Amino acid sequence: MRTIEDLDVAGKRVFVRADLNVPLDGDRITDDGRIRASLPTINALRGRGARVVVGAHLGRPKGKPDPAFSLRPVAARLGELLGAEVRFAEDTAGESALAASRALADGEVALVENLRFEPGETSKDDTERGGFADRLAALAELYVGDGFGAVHRRHASVFDLPQRLPHAAGGLVFTEVDVLRRLTESPERPYAVVLGGSKVSDKLGVIDNLLNTADRILVGGGMTYTFLAAKGHEVGSSLLERDQIDTVNEYLRRADERGVEFVLPVDVVAAEKFAADAVHDVVGAEEIPADRMGLDIGPASAELFAAKLADARTVFWNGPMGVFEMEPYAGGTRAVAQALLDSDAFTVVGGGDSAAAVRALGFDENAFGHISTGGGASLEYLEGKTLPGIAALED
């Protein structure tokens, strides 16, 4: 892939496809990590005299304007972090966006409205998607792909637009791909993977591929209970994907055959209901009461997981160990994060809820080897899939 250093950007309008899909509470941004991750590329372009037009999505507004998903609060926060005004266009590729892009001077920045306000952005019809890409291409002379969290989507601003303009990868995308290649092509061993989150079905492809590359796979989060059920244990009212039990058993069989160690929790925090103030106790993973739900791995499991990570040389972590947003169920996620910090491994936090948990629980992001901005994109890369946004930048 070409990088921004390979582009002559001085005095030119550069469309930067960023990932600014931040969580909002009304108009308040609750985690600006993705905005901060976009700053190095934007500032590098500004410093070389580019006129930067930023495009991004927020949420899933279903192809039409929705004030709840406006990027206006993001424009304000981006301006604060840049220490410079960010012009905000009221549309994505209409009169306001064209006026904003044409009014830019060297080193200035504009942000267009949510790309997903246009049906052409996410359309499965090549013609409709291409038409929207043509309109976006009118905003700039060059394209920089820096929204790693969206590169697994065949969307107009990710896949079609770079085919219409001279293009390069931004620093964020280049770094993400470099890290993921390190995980898939030459991981230093032992290579341990920690998988959490809600559902086994979200991780099927990556588990399948990791059986060929990982030395250990540690399972926590909501997906724990499908694994426990597959081993014949009672899981009470815990999250359970009963239709995945056969698949899980097959993974366990293949792991045993290939010498890949699967590590499951030995205890869990089981609560009467899904609430922070619910009555809860630590119980053995094989002894979950029928009227309780597991909402975190227990302290013995946290110690076990830390021990299994202690001698690792490479660790990839995707998915929290429990409902970390509620303090009674944050202990497992906190313990895994600390175990990564305590190890001498190259540690990669695989985006999504894992990255949010690291920030929410007060850990220093810079202490980890790499924190990805794209959970879904990271997982699909580790599955061995071709990511449309990366393929478009490589031609």
pLDDT confidence of residue 186: 86
CATH superfamily of 179-383: Phosphoglycerate kinase, N-terminal domain (3.40.50.1260)
Mean pLDDT of the residues in the chain: 95
pLDDT of residue 138: 98
CATH topology of domain 4-169: Rossmann fold (3.40.50)
Query: Could you confirm whether 26 is annotated as catalytic?
Result: no
Catalytic residue (one of 34, 48, 87, 334) = 34
352: pLDDT strictly greater than 80: no
Closest CA to 109 of 37, 8, 16: 16
Each as own residue / partner, the long-range contacts of residues 36-39 (CB below 8 Å, 24 or more positions apart, any chain) are: 36/81, 37/172, 37/373, 38/78, 38/146, 38/172, 39/81, 39/82
- The residue annotated as part of the active site, out of 199, 254, 359, 385, is 199
Point out the catalytic residue in the list 145, 147, 352, 389.
352
pTM attached to this predicted model: 0.88
Residue 58 marked as a ligand binder: yes
Q: Which residue ranges make up each domain of the chain?
A: 4-169, 179-383
Asked about 199 being catalytic, the answer comes back as yes
77 among the known binding-site residues? no
Under the banding of pLDDT at 50, 70 and 90, the label for residue 395 is confident
344 alpha carbon, distance to own chain's centre: 24
Q: In this predicted model, what pLDDT tens digit does every residue of 120-178 receive, in sequence order?
A: 999 999 999 999 999 999 999 999 999 999 999 999 999 999 999 999 999 999 999 99
Among 184, 131, 181, 120, residue whose Cα is nearest residue 154: 120
| Mean pLDDT, rounded, for 374-388 | 89
Task: Report whether 354 belongs to an annotated binding site.
Answer: yes
Q: Is 195 marked as binding a ligand?
A: no
Q: What is the pLDDT of residues 59-108, one digit of tens each?
A: 999 999 999 999 999 999 999 999 999 999 999 999 999 999 999 999 99
Q: Which pLDDT score, from 0 to 100, does residue 368 have? A: 94
What sign does the dihedral 263-267-271-275 (CA atoms) show? negative
pLDDT score recorded for residue 200: 85
62 is catalytic: no
pLDDT band at 374 (very low <50, low <70, confident <90, very high): confident
Do the domains 4-169 and 179-383 sit in the same CATH topology, yes or no?
A: yes
Using alpha carbons, select from 1, 178, 15 the residue that is nearest to residue 98: 15
What six digits make up the tokens of 350? 């695989």
Instruction: Compute the average pLDDT of residues 265-276.
Output: 98
Is residue 28's pLDDT more than 80?
yes
pLDDT of residue 198: 86
Is 153 annotated in a binding site? The answer is yes
